[in-house]
Amino acid sequence: MHGSRAMACELVDAIVRDQPQDVDLAVFPPLAYAAELAARHAGALPVGAQDVSAHAEPGAYTGEVSATMLADIGCTWTLAGHSERRRYHGESNALVAQKFAAALAAGLTPILCVGETLDERKSGRAEAVLTAQLDAVLDLCGVDCFKEAVIGYEPTWAIGTGHTATPEQAQQVHAFIRSHLLQRDDKIPLMTRIVYGGSVKPANAAELFAQPDVDGGLIGGAALVAADFLAICAAARA
């Protein structure tokens, strides 16, 4: 929840102007600005939503925004289960899976966000937490959903805490996620993009993206500065 309409337009204009042509990009602005940005940059840069309703059918769900509404305003992507939604809004694995399914049904490409807290990591429960988050979606939607959908690993202990995940730690978890999917299918997980979202910056992006199972980044604070975001994009291209 950053910026203003003017700031969002200026930021995305700069990204579109200088974006590398051989890197897949999408931006996820606050919903209030999504329709304008989607129209402003139609065909040049995909726009996604930061959240989506689990309710697929119209109804009395005040404040909710359905996947079909997002598609109607030009969004083609959405996040599902971002760490801040799980933390501040208490979103359960089951609810996140329903949101993910609703996005797929409306033709959006969802990014399933998964990750563990510092306490969960220190207590050795990280893999169990990730397994539960993944299985909620796999059981509801099947592994075929990851032919197009993306997984974003967000170690919440490495976001704004002073703790930093090393590239090796990121790779270890990404490899675990892929191996868990491989228990359901021996081909689709090899094509599934797993992106990293733990305080990616220009200074660490190249080393993170060099890891064999890190297929890109889910960029937070660094995406608020066009030059920083574009530097990260350049690292993904290298």
Residues identified as active-site: 82, 154
DSSP assignment of 140-183 equals HH-GGGGGT-EEEE--GGGSSSS----HHHHHHHHHHHHHHHHT
213 φ/ψ angles, rounded to the nearest 5 degrees: -105, 10
Please state the φ and ψ torsions of residue 14, each to the nearest 5 degrees.
Answer: -65, -40
**Helix (H/G/I), strand (E/B), else coil: 79:** strand
DSSP secondary structure string for all residues of 80-123: ES-HHHHHHH---HHHHHHHHHHHHHTT-EEEEEE---HHHHHT
- The residue whose two tokens read 């094509």 is 191
- List strands edge to edge, sheet with 150-153: 48-49, 77-80, 109-114, 150-153, 193-196
